[in-house]
Amino acid sequence: KKMVYAFAEGNAKMKALLGGKGANLAEMTRSGLPVPPGFTITTEACHAFFQSSNRIPDHLMEQIQLDLHRLEEDTNQKFGDSSCPLLVSVRSGSVSSMPGMMDTILNLGLNDDTVKGLAALTGNERFAYDCYRRLIQMFGNVVLGIESFRFEILLHKMMKNSGAGQDQEVTVEGWRSLIEDYKRCVKTNAGREFPQDVHEQLKLAIEAVFKSWNNHRAQIYRKIHHIPDAQGTAVNIQSMVFGNKGDDCGTGVVFTRNPSTGDGELFGEYLVNAQGEDVVSGVRTPQSIETLKDVMPNIYDQLVQVCKKLEQHYRDMQDIEFTVENGKLYVLQTRSGKRNAQAALKLAVEFVKEGVISREDALLRIEAFHLDQLLHRGIDESKDLEVLATGLPASPGAAIGVAVFDADTAADWSRAGKQVILVRPETTPEDIHGVLVSEGVLTSRGGMTSHAAVVARGMGKPCVCGCESVRIDVEGRRMFAGERVIEEGDWITLDGASGRVIMGTVPLREAAMTTELREILEWADDIRKLRVYANADNPEDANTARGFGAEGIGLCRTEHMFFAPERLAAMQRMIMAETVDERKAALDQLLPMQQSDFEGIFHAMDGLPVTIRLLDPPLHEFLPNTAELQRKLEDAESTAEKALLKRMIRKVHELHESNPMLGQRGCRLGIVYPEIYDMQIEAIFKAASACMDKGISVLPEIMIPLVGHAAELQRLRELVDRAAEQEFPADKKRDCKYKVGTMIEVPRAALTARQIAAHADFFSFGTNDLTQMTFGYSRDDAEGKFLTHYMDQKVLPHNPFQVLDSEGVGQLIELAVAAGRSLKPTLKTGLCGEHGGEKMSIAFCHETGLDYVSCSPYRIPLARIAAAQAAI
């Protein structure tokens, strides 16, 4: 099997086999760019190496020798030859770019003998010994595992003794004596001599590069970027060119455009008389690339041409490594340049305008994290930060505020004009008013889809959750992070994109819908088939959503309207009611509040559909917990208050369920206590009516949660239709084209979708609950516990609460859509739930032919782009 390819034999499409660097070196060689010759050992060879328990198999070694021989012929040099030695670099090159994660060795092929040959051949002794000392250091570090600082110390000592300020000033004697020091250093630290046999050098170097695939930092990097461990790395052997031969030599890195702004000028750095590693390692401060225009005008012009050519060829901004040897330019690497969000969008738009790529290509290049970065305020990374702890990056953006340890304090302090950050062990729906007024939320427990995270994301608020290394003392109103104690009122900063908790305040940069983003979103809108709705529970969110391009509301959770303090009291009275009349009286108080919310939302969504879900959570969520009530009872003074508290405690016990998520909630509540749904429906229609009087076009879609049997929906639909008769005079009823539908979130509903469709105008897949019930995972328990292990051990490919499980849950969706439409071809279908803002899940919705996805307002731009990407 062929496991070694000369550069001239490969091309850019062979990335999987040759690695990114190797494939691009081959491509550049083919297109006639000045690339020093060499060959690539494939990723398959890497696998063979691991399979032979980290040994290079004989047949592979033979192939390498053959190609090395060809290289000797091409260059007219000989590996290990004392008069005309061939020197090579041994460079790692993985399939997905992993900058700086793996190892490279330069100047391989030098020993006590060949270094003399190199000196004689070039007439430049100083240069030859400079190369030799570099080889010993890199080889010692990469192959023999000796820490770099051991060499650095020796280098500095020698420079100090000889009075050299910079390494160009070191004389040949200096390098010679350093080489002796280095050799001793190798002997002491590695227990062996630096190998004088060049073939042994080569073999050991190749082995080391293969092994570097499994070094710690490479493993971590792969995990973060979802790069499969099985990919392996290729190894490139390339004849050396020298930027350290004199003043007509140099080395540098150039981006074809500015990677942080997307502007069109070249961006980069170089060093005269230096070798590649010097630029990045920081031993010398490089010059900015513009100055090369004056220093080496010819080379600069050539470089500009090379940049143009590569950019055109790869149709993307390139990150190029080059070296100049005695006035001749060589290109050593090219790859698509990493860029920040702003630059990514700008470049995409520019390339379309320049006719380099199509709009579709541009859209495909936009990544979710680009939008995450753009649409949230972020930390200004140029400043020094004291990171207290790192939790899960649950909701991107940066938040600065003083720490508070309960929701009421958050509300009080924020009313007093303070910026607060809510810090809790975990959050419950009762904390929502605290979340609402906070700049951001920090919890020590809970996963990426924990309540705190979901709510915060929905509001576009930064959130760090599951930050287990901080200890929160709610009673003592403080938090411990390592040595630090943060008291209530101390300033902290959260970075929801990285999960960092930072001491004090740090400067932020603002978020923005840039003109480029608007333009790209318009292209996306032309292409996509899926509509994009928003999950929004109040007029403010509805307005934000519309600003981001929402085409309706797919989920308005009415329970969130009940958590404001004055409403919660009425809600609690309703729950505590002993008789239907008492309950109705309490509901009468809630009605105008709900109505005004709905009016605000209808107003914001003038002309667009608004899907309102009737009350869903179990009632106990609206009552305080028993411990809190007991405490209040002890403090209570009046007998009336005591009596009330006692009743509340009794009620809490009464409502207690061992499985609240599978208990009395959703439509089950509506059937047992129809008064609640009656009130909500009345509020919806009254609001609709009032808005229609103002000339607003209202499209209410009433959604019944948790239906599992057609009879449930049938009954509740009657409730809605009856209310419509009552609320609207005949002409108005005609104008208000309301719909009634259901969430499909119980597996039985999906399985009996045809029967359910008989009573539904639309299906909305509530994939949070549907995932929970299909897997049988309690979401709140799964994330902090076994699900993390499942991810680590790769039992599941993704967290199914983040990425829709298309195989299982998806099958239920497909089935329900088909069955529903078989009865009602025009049945409207959509998905609400966390998955509606996730790229792969959106692609699934597109494939399945849903009409829309609904996601939180800040995810809408992402959803519009993901929907277009799915349609391309």
Which residues does the annotation place in the binding site for substrate?
557, 613, 745, 766-769
Please state, in angstroms and rounded to a whole number, the distance separating the CA atoms of residues 439 and 456: 10
Please state, in angstroms and rounded to a whole number, the distance separating the CA atoms of residues 331 and 333: 6
Contact residues for 341 (Cβ-Cβ < 8 A; gap 6+): 369, 370, 371, 372, 373, 374
Task: Decide: is 769 part of the binding site for ligand ADP (CB under 6 A).
Answer: no
Please state, in angstroms and rounded to a whole number, the distance separating the CA atoms of residues 673 and 656: 17
Tokens of 427: 């959050």
Among 22, 36, 117, 741, binds ligand ADP (CB under 6 A): 36
Task: Decide: is 460 part of the binding site for Mg ion (CB under 5 A).
Answer: no
**Residues 486-490: contacts with CB under 8 Å, at least 24 apart:** 486/388, 486/403, 487/403, 488/402, 488/403, 488/404, 488/405, 488/409, 489/402, 489/403, 489/404, 490/402, 490/403
Please state, in angstroms and rounded to a whole number, the distance separating the CA atoms of residues 587 and 469: 44
Task: Decide: is 680 part of the binding site for Mg ion (CB under 5 A).
Answer: no
Task: Decide: is 125 part of the binding site for Mg ion (CB under 5 A).
Answer: no
Among 62, 100, 487, 641, binds ligand ADP (CB under 6 A): 100
Task: Decide: is 94 part of the binding site for ligand ADP (CB under 6 A).
Answer: no
Among 43, 323, 544, 774, binds ligand ADP (CB under 6 A): 323
CB of 210 or CB of 677, closer to ligand ADP: 210
DSSP code of residue 662: G
Task: State the binding partner of 766 from Mg ion, ligand ADP, none, CB within 5 to 8 A by kind.
Answer: Mg ion
Task: Decide: is 251 part of the binding site for ligand ADP (CB under 6 A).
Answer: yes
Task: Decide: is 106 part of the binding site for ligand ADP (CB under 6 A).
Answer: yes
Question: What binding mask, one character per residue, do residues 265-304 give for ligand ADP by CB under 6 A, x or -?
Answer: -----------xx---------------------------
Task: Decide: is 238 part of the binding site for ligand ADP (CB under 6 A).
Answer: yes
Residues 332-371 close enough to bind ligand ADP by CB under 6 A: 332-333
Active-site residue, selected from the candidate residues 465, 556, 832, 845: 832
- Whole-number minimum distance, CB 99 to Mg ion, in Å? 7
The number of residues that bind ligand ADP (CB under 6 A) is 16
Task: Decide: is 517 part of the binding site for ligand ADP (CB under 6 A).
Answer: no
How many CA within 13 A on the CB side of residue 444?
17
CB of 99 or CB of 547, closer to ligand ADP: 99
Tell me the pairing of strands 828-832 and 762-766: parallel
Task: Decide: is 321 part of the binding site for ligand ADP (CB under 6 A).
Answer: yes
Task: Decide: is 42 part of the binding site for Mg ion (CB under 5 A).
Answer: no
Task: Decide: is 148 part of the binding site for ligand ADP (CB under 6 A).
Answer: no
Residues 719-748 close enough to bind Mg ion by CB under 5 A: 745
- Whole-number minimum distance, CB 251 to ligand ADP, in Å? 5
Task: Decide: is 251 part of the binding site for Mg ion (CB under 5 A).
Answer: no
Task: Decide: is 607 part of the binding site for ligand ADP (CB under 6 A).
Answer: no
- Whole-number minimum distance, CB 271 to ligand ADP, in Å? 10
HEC sequence for 230-249: CCCEEEEEEECCCCCCCCCC
Please state, in angstroms and rounded to a whole number, the distance separating the CA atoms of residues 184 and 190: 10
Question: What binding mask, one character per residue, do residues 630-659 give for ligand ADP by CB under 6 A, x or -?
Answer: ------------------------------
DSSP code of residue 201: H
Please state, in angstroms and rounded to a whole number, the distance separating the CA atoms of residues 503 and 521: 37
Task: State the binding partner of 78 from ligand ADP, Mg ion, none, CB within 5 to 8 A by kind.
Answer: none
Does the annotation mark 451 as catalytic? yes
Q: From 140, 276, 117, select the one nearest 205 (Cα to Cα).
A: 140
Contact residues for 830 (Cβ-Cβ < 8 A; gap 6+): 531, 533, 554, 762, 763, 764, 765, 850, 851, 852, 853, 854
- Give yes or no for a contact between 553 and 601, defined as CB atoms under 8 angstroms apart: yes
Tokens of 792: 């680590």
CB of 24 or CB of 841, closer to ligand ADP: 24
CB atoms within 10 A of CB 433: 18
Of 125-133, 234-242, 595-603, 730-738: span binding ligand ADP (CB under 6 A):
234-242
- Environment class of 729 (CB within 10 Å of its CB; exposed 0-12, middle 13-18, buried 19+): exposed
Task: Decide: is 540 part of the binding site for ligand ADP (CB under 6 A).
Answer: no
CB of 81 or CB of 426, closer to ligand ADP: 81
Which residue ranges are tagged as binding site for Mg(2+)?
Answer: 745, 769
CB of 134 or CB of 686, closer to ligand ADP: 134
Task: Decide: is 760 part of the binding site for ligand ADP (CB under 6 A).
Answer: no
Task: Decide: is 74 part of the binding site for ligand ADP (CB under 6 A).
Answer: no
- Whole-number minimum distance, CB 38 to ligand ADP, in Å? 7
Q: Which residues of 240-275 are buried (b: 16+ CB within 10 A; e: fewer)?
A: bbbbbbbeebbbbbbbbbbbeebeeebbbbbbbbbb
Which residue ranges are tagged as binding site?
Answer: 557, 613, 745, 766-769
H or E element, residue 74: helix 58-75
Task: Decide: is 104 part of the binding site for ligand ADP (CB under 6 A).
Answer: yes
Please state, in angstroms and rounded to a whole number, the distance separating the CA atoms of residues 843 and 836: 10
Active-site residue, selected from the candidate residues 370, 376, 451, 846: 451
CB atoms within 10 A of CB 732: 15
CB of 171 or CB of 288, closer to ligand ADP: 288
What is the DSSP annotation of 797-834?
SS-TTTS--TTTHHHHHHHHHHHHHHH-TT-EEEEESG
The number of residues that bind Mg ion (CB under 5 A) is 4
Three-state secondary-structure class, residue 684: helix
Task: Decide: is 89 part of the binding site for Mg ion (CB under 5 A).
Answer: no
Taking CB atoms, the residue at the shortest distance from Mg ion is 769
Task: Decide: is 333 part of the binding site for Mg ion (CB under 5 A).
Answer: yes
CB of 232 or CB of 618, closer to Mg ion: 618
Task: Decide: is 89 part of the binding site for ligand ADP (CB under 6 A).
Answer: yes
- Give yes or no for a contact between 333 and 25, defined as CB atoms under 8 angstroms apart: yes
List residues binding ligand ADP (CB under 6 A).
Answer: 36, 89, 91, 100, 104, 106, 238, 240-241, 251, 276-277, 321, 323, 332-333
List residues binding Mg ion (CB under 5 A).
Answer: 333, 745, 766, 769
Which residues are catalytically annotated?
451, 832
